[in-house]
């Protein structure tokens, strides 16, 4: 993993428009780590104005990418005492978020409009099953943290390329995920994965990532007889 360091502050609050200055909050980027695949980033943040002690559900941080352009990312691995967290961001596409990611260095300032609940939270007495793509690594990590260290979580994730499977296993070892590649047969593999889940547990299925994938996965689970109340779905992009 490459560690990107630098003393220069890329964006200053004085660079913001008059209107954005009214509502935008600041965080400091403590570290930027780029996966060896060169397309996925981890940002460690210090959020002095945030109140992570109140995060009882997964959150979204509306992050300023450029003038009046905000992207939602998911704070994960937060620490209440230090007000720090990590964002896991896919930079493999041509969106403005990807371009912005490549400009970041440790010491840069990050601006955000708000941090809000996504209303997904673990349900006591149930086992969380995470299903989605790699943009949901932060979301699933947040749910894992909320479920607690003793929680027995499991999951199924589609990644862009074969090397990402290794990267997820290496860099996100706290997530117990079965990973498959984009070119593999998603629904056949998902069916096999679900068939292996021990039948005695009560499961809640958390779906997140590409909106079409999330929608089709929900339909698939419903066809298998899983009731709506056991499925929590959040389309991301
Ligand atoms: C609640 C919430 C939490 C989220 N958390 C995360 C997170 O933790 N990590 C993360 O990486 N993303 C996360 N996302 C998704 C992220 O906000 C979107 O990917 C966003 O579109 C990126 O903005 P952009 O400006 O780069 O691209 P946009 O300008 O929005 O999109 C440009 C083009 O790229 C496509 N695109 C967008 N994202 C991807 C992608 N990942 N792969 C391929 N094509 C893409 C779009 O469909 C569009 O065609 C989250 C979204 C939501 C709603």
Question: Ligand 1, closest atom to CA 74?
Answer: 8
Distance 125 CA to ligand 1 centre (A): 32
pLDDT at 17: 84
The Cα 118–Cα 173 span in angstroms is 24
Q: Which domains, from first to last, does the chain contain?
A: 2-117 (2.40.30.10), 127-235 (3.40.50.80)
DSSP 123: -
Distance 202 CA to ligand 1 centre (A): 31
pLDDT at 149: 86
231 SS3 class: strand
pLDDT at 7: 43
Count of other CB atoms within 10 angstroms of residue 179: 21
Distance 132 CA to ligand 1 centre (A): 14
- Residue having the nearest C-alpha atom to atom 32 of ligand 1: 95
**Counting Cβ atoms within 10 Å, is residue 83 exposed (0-12), middle (13-18) or buried (19+)?**
middle
Distance 172 CA to ligand 1 centre (A): 20
C-alpha 62 chain-centroid distance: 13
β-bridge mates for residue 60, sequence order: 116
Token match 């509502």: residue?
23
User: Nearest 5 degrees, angle CA 57-CA 63-CA 67?
Assistant: 155
Of the CA atoms within 13 Å of residue 112, those in its CB half-sphere come to: 24
Q: Which residues contact 53 (CB under 8 A, 6 or more apart)?
A: 80
In the chain, which residues have pLDDT < 50?
7-11
pLDDT at 182: 95
Tokens for 25, please give them: 């909050």
Distance 237 CA to ligand 1 centre (A): 5
Output the ligand 1 site: residues, CB below 6 A: 60, 65, 71-74, 87-90, 92-93, 95-98, 118, 135, 138, 234, 236-237
């Amino acid at each position: 993993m490459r560690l990107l360091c630098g003393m220069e502050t890329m964006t200053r609050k004085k660079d913001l428009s008059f209107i954005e200055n009214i509502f935008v909050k600041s965080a400091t980027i403590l570290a930027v780590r780029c996966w060896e695949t060169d397309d996925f980033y981890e940002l460690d943040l210090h959020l002095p104005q945030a109140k992570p002690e109140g995060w009882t559900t997964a959150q979204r941080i509306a992050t300023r990418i450029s003038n009046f352009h905000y992207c939602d990312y998911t704070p994960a691995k937060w620490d209440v005492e230090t007000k720090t967290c990590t964002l896991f961001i896919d930079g493999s596409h041509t969106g403005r978020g990807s371009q912005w990611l490549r400009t970041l260095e440790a010491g840069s300032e990050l601006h955000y409009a708000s941090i809000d609940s996504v209303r997904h939270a673990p349900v006591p007495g149930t086992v969380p099953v995470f299903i989605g793509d790699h943009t949901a690594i932060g979301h699933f990590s947040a749910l894992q943290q909320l479920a607690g260290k003793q929680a027995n979580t499991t999951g199924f994730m589609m990644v862009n390329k074969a090397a990402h499977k290794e990267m997820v296993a290496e860099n996100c070892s706290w997530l117990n995920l079965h990973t498959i590649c984009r070119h593999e047969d998603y629904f056949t593999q998902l069916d096999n994965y679900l068939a292996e889940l021990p039948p005695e547990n009560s499961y809640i299925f958390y779906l997140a990532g590409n909106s079409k994938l999330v929608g089709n996965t929900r339909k698939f689970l419903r066809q298998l007889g899983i009731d709506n109340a056991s499925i929590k779905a959040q389309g991301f992009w």
